[in-house]
Amino acid sequence: MLTSKCMKGVNIGYPLKIKAVDLKESEVDFNPDFISRIIPKLDWTVLISAANSIGKNENLPENLLPEYEKNTEFLKRVHHVLLEIDVVNGELICPESGRKFPINNGIPNMILNEDEV
């Protein structure tokens, strides 16, 4: 959902790479309606590569399944990847400039210096 396009000299800035130092997995309530609604808002290929990069693919397919709304088991796995895995400490990395945005306590810091804008 994030890009670093706002930076000086960065054209696309998407997708940001994720480097996870600490991962936390938790269990939260599953809402199939929400997951079905959010999937079309996501770039599926990007989600898969992001999940791969932190080693939490959960056997998600390369291509989005047809009629995924009806596939509860599939929605549950998407739910886990989206809502139950938290990068506690790590970095988001701009794919063009290599600028690193640190993640501390699960909160990414996207603040730029004056000369980067």
Partner 1 sequence: MDFIETPNKTQPYWLVKFKSDDDVRLLTNRSVSLRSSMELWAYSDTIEDLHRDMKEFPYELLSPYMQENQSFKIEVETFCYELLSPYMQENQSFKIEVETFCKHFTQKEKVDKLEAFSYLPVKGKVKLKNPDIVFQYIEYYGTDPKSPPQHPYMVFFGRWIGNGLRQLIQNLSLKTRKFIGNTSMDPQLSLLMANQAQVRSGDIILDPFVGSGSLLVAAAQFGGYVLGTDIDYLMLHARTRPSRITQKERDKDESVKANMAQYNLDHKYLDVLVNDFAIQFWKEDLRFDAIITDPPYGIREATEKIGTSKENCTISEEHLPTHIPKLLVCWFPIFRDDYNEDGLPTNTCLKLVANSEQILNKHTSRRLLTYEKIGEPRGDNAEHRNNIMDFRSKYYDTREETRKERRMRKALERHTKSDRKS
The residues facing 19 across adjacent strands are 91
Q: Which is nearer to partner 1, 45 or 109 (CB)?
A: 109
| Contact range with partner 1 by CB under 8 A, out of 47-55, 56-64, 65-73, 108-116 | 108-116
> Do 95 and 16 touch, CB atoms closer than 8 A?
yes
Among 21, 31, 52, 70, binds partner 1 (CB under 8 A): 31
Tokens of 30: 């599953």
Tell me: does residue 95 bind partner 1 (CB under 8 A).
no
Helix (H/G/I), strand (E/B), else coil: 103: strand
Taking CB under 8 A as the rule, does residue 11 contact partner 1?
Answer: no
For 16, the token pair is 């940001």
Q: Which is nearer to partner 1, 60 or 103 (CB)?
A: 103
Contact call for residue 106 and partner 1 (CB under 8 A): yes
> CA-based angle 33:56:31, to the nearest 5?
15
